[in-house]
Amino acid sequence: MSLPIITAVRALRDPHLKESVLHTAQELAHRASIYGVVRASNAYMGQKCHCHQRTFQRHVLRLIDARILKKTVVKRLVKVRVGERLEDRLRNEVNVYTFTLPWKRPPRIQVPIDRMSTTLPQQEEREKSVGLGEDIQNLEKGLRWYTAGSLGYEATLEKITQLKALLDDDGV
């Protein structure tokens, strides 16, 4: 899903970025959506990058300075009981990181115009398991279930005629 972003991060050749910072960027890229957006907590990403969460925060600051990431801090107003009264306090939500470096977006898949299938005959939806002679015999047995002159009877007779014509062409 995020392969183009991972490829773009691996292609970075910035001499100011250490290997551990690039590793952090790759871990974020692995969790990115196709739009380059990641929602992850500092503690979780610190575990995934095998470092402390404060180290992860420093790496993010370096990635922001290198114009690879953009960080959005989301806060929420929460009521907290303080003694006898309720007070409004700001609580941090999970941060949102957005990749700002250019990456090659996957091309839109266009369905090719299919001209060949309109000229081919309709395919049968079953596999060939019997020969023409057996197929004709089976259809003739099935004729007794139809009333003479009915739509099904006429269609079966037409199919038998087609198969017999094929049998005659092959036998010649």
pLDDT, residue 109, reads 63
Give the residue-averaged pLDDT of 92-117: 73
pLDDT at 34 over 80: yes
pLDDT of residue 149: 85
Burial of 49 (0-12, 13-18, 19+ CB in 10 A): buried
Helix (H, G, I), strand (E, B) or coil at 163: helix
- C-alpha separations of 85 from 81, 88, 91, 92 in Å: 6, 10, 18, 22
pLDDT at 106 over 90: no
pLDDT score of 120 more than 60: no
Long-range contacts for 135-144 (Cβ within 8 Å, ≥24 apart)? 135/163, 136/160, 136/163, 136/164, 136/167, 139/163
Digit-coded pLDDT (tens) for 133-146: 888 888 888 888 88
Q: What is the pLDDT of residue 131?
A: 78
* pLDDT, position 101: 87
| Average pLDDT over all residues of the chain | 83
The residue written with tokens 């692995």 in the block is 30
The answer to whether the predicted template modeling score (pTM) of the entire model surpasses 0.85 is: no
* Rounded average pLDDT over 40-65: 92
